[in-house]
Structure 1
Amino acid sequence: MADSGQKFISRNRSPRVHISYDVETYGARKSVELPFVMGVMSDLSGKSEVAKKDLKDREFSEFDIDNFDKRMAAISPRAAFLVDNEIEGEGKLGVDLTFKKMDDFEPGKIAQNVPALAKLLEARQQLNDLLIMMDGKQNATELLDKVLKDENLLKALSEAKAKSEAEGEATADAAETEE
């Protein structure tokens, strides 16, 4: 069975708050120390889609390092808002984030959950992978420099990629209509 939060804290670090009172029993004075327990009442779920109980029906939940992700998944905090679209330079970008564990607050995870940022993150990862593969390969580096400096060749490669993507979408659409 799991220890209480008070026992966990006392085992791992000393408490910062000491509350004690003196008691006199049968003529002997004794100091009794009370545990410091804090209760927080707050709606930390944001725009969560998980139904909430009425305030009178809610109970306190114990949060600690061992069950934090489980508690967060149960609450399922959500943030939905609009931000300026700095990627395209105009308009607004809709952001809808749901957090299931503490790792979901990391910048990389947030970027993965915003489609426009996910594309940029994927491109960055691919460029990083390319850099790793080309490390020490002089001929490949020279070829890539040549391609990047030749605007006509770069434009032709871009058009070829767009054409192959369009053909792939047309093939996928044709396969869907056959079903």
Structure 2
Amino acid sequence: MSNSLQKWVGRNRAPRVQITYDVENGGAIEKKELPMVVGVMADLSGHPKEPLPKLKDRRFVEIDRDNFDEILDRIRPRLDLSVPDTAKGEGNLRIELEFSKFSDFHPESLVQQVPRLQRLLQARHQLRDLLAKLDGNDELDSILDRVIRSTEELRALHDEAGQAADDQAAEEKPADPPAAEPS
């Protein structure tokens, strides 16, 4: 039995395209099947940090649903873009996106790669949590209502939240390695 790729595909997955032709062999007509091979030449790397090899030095890569993430990790598509900053309403926002697996194309993964969007999503989650805590908590509801109506208390709350964010950012910053002592 032949070990051709076409026979392997036939045993493992039914091909979607089958091309056959009739051949006369000693008076009998046989159906011969042509293999369906598709080659795609494309620059799928986006904006690579390092230049790609010359086209003549590149080789075809077989991609299927089983090795897609592995190939994507090897190619590592990257986008370096400047997009309008709709959050501030003015100027542009420079973003750099890298993809190493198919799930990196999901909106949540994209947000994790853009620090400003990550902070906005975090604020949204905090507001959702606050809304959940407000449900049925009349005391907290009245406190927040009073704070919103009072400009001074609102400023104090804003300053406190800003200080808490600064403290959190300082905690997340990696510590500098200790200086080496002279020998």
TM-score by length of 2: 0.77
Matched, 1:129 2:129: yes
1:134 deviates by 3.5
Question: Secondary structure at 2:104's aligned position in 1?
Answer: helix
* Residues 47 and 78 in structure 1, CA contact (< 8 A), matched pair in contact too: yes
CA distance in 2, matches of 1:34, 1:162: 68
Amino acid at match of 2:76: S
Structure with the larger helix share: 1
Matched residue, 1:106: 106
Detail structure 1 runs of 4+ shifted over 4 Å in the superposition.
4-14, 163-172
1:111-146 CA distances to partner (integer Å, 9 max, x unpaired)?
221122111111111112222333333322332233
Matched residue, 2:84: 84
Question: Secondary structure at 2:141's aligned position in 1?
Answer: helix
CA distance in 1, matches of 2:83, 2:135: 38
* Residues 6 and 35 in structure 1, CA contact (< 8 A), matched pair in contact too: no
Matched residue, 2:146: 146
* Residues 80 and 96 in structure 1, CA contact (< 8 A), matched pair in contact too: yes
Question: Secondary structure at 1:95's aligned position in 2?
Answer: strand
Q: Gapped runs of 5+ residues in structure 2?
A: none
1:165 deviates by 5.7
Amino acid at match of 2:161: K
1:169 deviates by 8.0
Amino acid at match of 1:148: I
Q: Relative to 1, partners in 2 of residues 1:165 and 1:103: Cα closer, same or farther, differing over 3 Å?
A: closer
Instruction: Please report the RMSD computed on the Cα atoms of aligned residues, expressed in angstroms.
Output: 3.3
Q: Percent identity?
A: 39
Matched, 1:45 2:49: no
TM-score by length of 1: 0.79
Question: Secondary structure at 2:155's aligned position in 1?
Answer: helix
